[in-house]
Structure 1
Amino acid sequence: MADTPSRPTEMTLAQARDALANGELSSKELTQAHVQAVESARQLKAYITETPERASTMAEAADARRQKGESRGPLDGVPIAIKDLFCTKDVLTTAGSHVLDGFTPPYESTVTSKLWDAGAVMLGKTNLDEFAMGSSNETSYYGAAENPWRRQGDNRPLVPGGSSGGSASAVAARAALGATGTDTGGSIRQPAALTGITGLKPTYGRCSRFGIVAFASSLDQAGPMARTVRDCAILLGGMAGFDDNDGTSVDTPVPDYEAALTGDIRGLKVGIPKEYRVDGMPREIEELWQQGLDWLKDAGAEPVEISLPRTHYALPAYYIIAPAEASSNLARYDGVRFGLRETAGSSLDEMYEATRAAGFGDEVKRRVLIGTYVLSAGYYDAYYNKARKVRTLIAQDFAEAYKQCDVILAPTSPNAAFGVGELADDPIAMYLNDVFTVPASLAGLPALSVPAGLDASGLPLGLQLIGRAFDEETVLRAGEVMEKAANFTAEPAFVAGR
């Protein structure tokens, strides 16, 4: 490990964990430094709600436990950020939407409960696309989060990706040691790639969905975002596990993910899907993809060309299935039980209509309309059922591919970060940002994005590794090997506290 930085906010999560364990730093000091970083980074709009008092109380409790020799493990006393899609008891939870104005849940999500039980400290709730619907964090009712990176010689703001853009921006700007995200079609991996950090979408069912505001229930999966592969491994260990409250949670043991980082990938077969070479892909992304393969080969891995023949059906299938499930899930926001209520009109139906019209943004309305259409009588079989069958075929493609390889290497995003407002009026162009991330989501597979280089404008680009179901260990091990070879040390234009 590199020498530990003197500034707490410059540490990786693993370095902070070690400094706490060695008594070099208290959680109170570490947390206070990050609270100040959060305050100094407000221009990025990475956070919707800051919780400095709660953070201070949790840090003091962690220090008291450590003094008594009762440390709860690697996350005890470590300050992190929580995507504002996770319900946090008595703390405003918005999902980035006006329709949830004033909603403070009376319960805690399972993932955040696990993190607090492990001693983690909450810095606040991070910004996101409304109901996690977006690839740029521009659909948030609370304003677009900004990427701390800038193009060389150009100070115009860039998007941090989405939907977990606030989490990505906070981690990249050193305003959190790590953060939770959720990934439905790429919402952890794509923002990680665009902000130069690491993000892991675990296998569907690895982390509980209980207490996460639902977008598309058969796709949503919580996962870690941090600055290194090791940090993601540590965070995932605190998040994962079976939950009786979630019918899709899988009862399988949670391994020691950090122990899997042996650095040894000799003999590992790395699949290169020929279908991921899409028309119009920038040459620098193609070259970086080859560079990533070369790094893995140099470490003893063996490349294998594979085929995922239904890849080009993934995006259309996703944009039928996800809106259909969103249409169903968002029916509960009616102004009756919680959140916004518009009282225009004299009837209950008019109140529903007024509340939903005022409470939902344009992108959410677009997806609800698409979803309602594809579920309607006469179109259910033509669209929704057909998309579900395509999804099964895509999963079968991956199953066949894993008979030849152990992991699959691909780009994370077809482009680097783009300007705020650049694609806001072109939903199709925005949806195409998910072209490399959606297939693994439809198949429910674990996928890790690692920062691997810079484009010609000095912006970060990521590569992703996709693994077999519940084989996050191999994905993380190969990811760390690639991370060390890439030696990504570039920093964003804005770093909190500097």
Structure 2
Amino acid sequence: MRPIPKHSRLLLPMLAAMLCCACQRTSSATPAGEPPFPYQEAGIAELQARITAGELDSVTLTDAYLRRIALLDRAGPALRSVIEINPAARREAAQRDAERRAGRIRGPLHGMPILLKDNIGATPMHNTAGSLALKTFRPRRDAFLVQRLREAGAVILGKTNLSEWANFRSTGSTSGWSALGGQTRNPYALDRNPCGSSSGSAVAVAANLAVAAIGTETDGSIVCPAAVTGIVGLKPTVGLVSRDGIIPISFSQDTAGPMARSVADAALLLAAMAGRDESDPATATMPGRAVYDYGARLRPDALHGARIGVLRNALAERAEIKPLLDQAVAAMRAAGATVIDTALPSEDGWEKDEQTVLLYEFKNGLNRYFQQWRTPVASLGALIAFNDAHASQELHLFGQELLLQAEQAGSLNDPIYIAARGNARRLAGAEGIDATLRADRLDALIAPTTGAAWRTTPGKGDDYPGGSYGAAAVAGYPSLSVPMGHANGLPLGLLFMGPAWSEPRLLELGHAYEQLTRARRPPAFAPTP
């Protein structure tokens, strides 16, 4: 643990209680009767140091994670977070070890086993979005971001379960469920939901089934699962990471992003993933200095002199959340930040327009993906028909109302769509986040990411507590969820939001907060809290 800065000493009594939880990283994170996992909570820098010291290699590390997946995901608590293992994972690890012996080290991700959400194409595996309609589909090449990760030396360990079709199938869906993968379970309390749609990526990282994972988000699908499983999740600015090879919902809002146990690891992943790609026009909007060595910018005193705005929304006033948010604010102030209460002038005013945009863009993008990648179903209409024909497997828990609504949407030249897209982005971006930051000269906004994980009730939808991430999602701006603490044994996250391309600042602020509070602790796989 890094030392607490001098200007934080007034918070020592409060921080001691928070830190003691983080220090108890014992075998409680492994089911009773099983030996402690040797790489429990290990981050990228620690693992690389152990490899450099000759204590470890990538094959050994990969084998250890594969055994842990078999122990916890397929058996034991049966988390159901991993939907497919990469059959070439061990060979990839052996190649990285051979390169290291030859003196070729590609970077900090060299030899690190990483999981991918199962809507991101990666050979030789399937890409299914959790749907039986795509269970035989194998993309002919890697998605652009997977190419980047492999060039950086990462080992692709496998694919993670998700809310089917990234939770854009039904108004009554249960997050974390797919027909192919079943119901993903929250490792902190197995009867609780992991949120979605990057459910498997979040759970796998929280349970130490991989070094880190990649998720995707349209509106909350990275940061919500990250928050309720006690990990770090970063949704980048739309256009920083290519969407090539990813099964889409919305080209206005979709992005992939890192999910890790620390801000430092998320920063290293983002540096490897980010970059321009001719196949994704959104990346052409990237400023010349948008891609950084994000990890090199992290410093524990980044909060000193920062100006932070707290969104005191309804979520922030919930009894289980308010004390933790107040502690977070106090910690930042003691670290030298100016923290003021603020509000978005157009709070949630974009929701109706956002839904219109998603319906239009989902139909257009999905049909294009099906045609470009030559999938077993050729259109959204064919997918709807497939689900009807396989209703006992696909539709027994909830329907496909959103697919049906999207099928009725018109072209992207429709004035209804054009107006909705403009209104949504303006209200969330220029007149929302941007206006709020400018009014009080703020570096970032913070708010509770979402509430605590709710009980999973198959067939009855989600008892969703609400979230603070909608504005950043609709505007296409970055958001970062960092562990904030626990309520009744369940993790809660703190969300950092900023303007477009502000990832470097958000990451350094989130890292400083993380180092100050050390709020993450590994899960105990409890039947119920």
Give your verdict on TM over 0.5.
Answer: yes
1:149 is matched with 188
The separation in 1 between residues aligned to 2:330 and 2:281, in whole angstroms, is 41
Structure 2 residue 348 is the aligned partner of structure 1 residue 312: yes
**8 Å Cα contact 1:127-1:165 kept in structure 2:** yes
- Out of 325, 337, 340, the residue aligned to residue 289 of structure 1 is 325
Name the CA distance, whole Å, in 1 between partners of 2:129 and 2:428. Answer: 30
Partner in structure 2 of residue 301 of structure 1: 337
Give the corresponding residue for 2:93: 59
Query: Matched residues in 2 for 1:352 and 1:448: separation?
Result: 34
| Residue-by-residue CA offset, 1:136-168 (whole Å, 9 max, x unaligned) | 212454211111111xxxxx5222111000001
Q: What is the CA deviation profile of residues 64-94 of structure 1, one whole-angstrom value per residue up to 9, with x for unaligned ones?
A: 1111111101000011111111111231111
Unpaired segments ≥5 residues, structure 1 = 151-155, 343-347
Asked if the contact 2:233–2:482 (Cα under 8 Å) also holds between the matched residues in 1, the reply is yes
Are the equivalent residues in 1 in contact too, given 2:367–2:380 (CA < 8 A)?
no
Displacement of 1:451 in angstroms is: 0.8
Distance, in Å, in 2 between the alignment partners of 1:62 and 1:269 is 43
What is residue 453 of structure 2 aligned with on the other side? 417
Q: CA separation in 2, counterparts of 1:242 and 1:351? A: 33
TM alignment of 1:83-482, pairs within 5 A = 83-133=117-167, 136-150=175-189, 157-250=191-284, 251=286, 252-253=288-289, 254-264=291-301, 265-274=303-312, 276-278=313-315, 281-331=317-367, 338-340=374-376, 354-355=385-386, 357-358=388-389, 361=394, 365-373=400-408, 375=410, 381=415, 385-386=419-420, 388-396=422-430, 397-403=432-438, 404-413=441-450, 415-421=451-457, 424-426=459-461, 430=464, 433=466, 435-455=467-487, 457-482=488-513
Query: Which residue identity is paired with 1:308?
Result: L
One-letter amino acid matched to 1:7: P
User: 1:320 and 1:18, CA in 2 relative to 1: closer, same or farther beyond 3 A?
Assistant: farther
Structure 1 residues 111 and 349: CA distance shift in structure 2, 3 A? closer
- TM-score, structure 1 normalization: 0.87
Deviates most, 248-257 or 67-76: 248-257
Asked whether the equivalents of residues 300 and 515 of structure 2 are also in contact (C-alpha less than 8 Å), the reply is no
Change over 3 Å in CA distance of 1:320–1:349 after alignment to 2: closer
Opposite residue 271 of structure 1, the aligned amino acid is: G
AA at the equivalent of 2:293: D
Contact 1:340 1:359 in 2 (8 A): no
In structure 1, what is the Cα distance between the partners aligned to 2:409 and 2:376? 27
How many angstroms apart in 1 are the aligned matches of 2:146 and 2:481?
22
Q: Provide the rounded CA distance (Å) in 2 between the counterparts of 1:28 and 1:139.
A: 31
CA distance in 1, matches of 2:372, 2:110: 40
How far did residue 95 of structure 1 move?
1.1
Distance 1:375 1:295, change over 3 A: farther
Could you tell me which amino acid in structure 1 is paired with residue 295 of structure 2?
Answer: E
1:153 aligned partner: none
Provide, for residues 361-392 of structure 1, a one-character-per-residue CA deviation record: whole Å limited to 9, x for no partner: 55682212333455489x96567623541331
Please give the alpha-carbon distance, in whole angstroms, between the structure 1 residues aligned to 2:216 and 2:370. Answer: 24
SS of corresponding position for 1:80: strand
CA distance in 2, matches of 1:382, 1:326: 15
One-letter identity of the residue aligned with 1:44: L
Distance (whole Å) between structure 2 residues aligned to residue 299 and residue 352 of structure 1: 53
Q: Distance in 2 between matches of 1:300 and 1:352?
A: 54
Q: How far apart are the structure 1 equivalents of 2:123 and 2:471?
A: 34
CA distance in 1, matches of 2:369, 2:278: 25
TM-score by structure 2 length?
0.83
**Identity across matched positions, percent:** 34
How far 1:49 moved relative to its partner?
0.6
Q: How many residues align?
A: 475
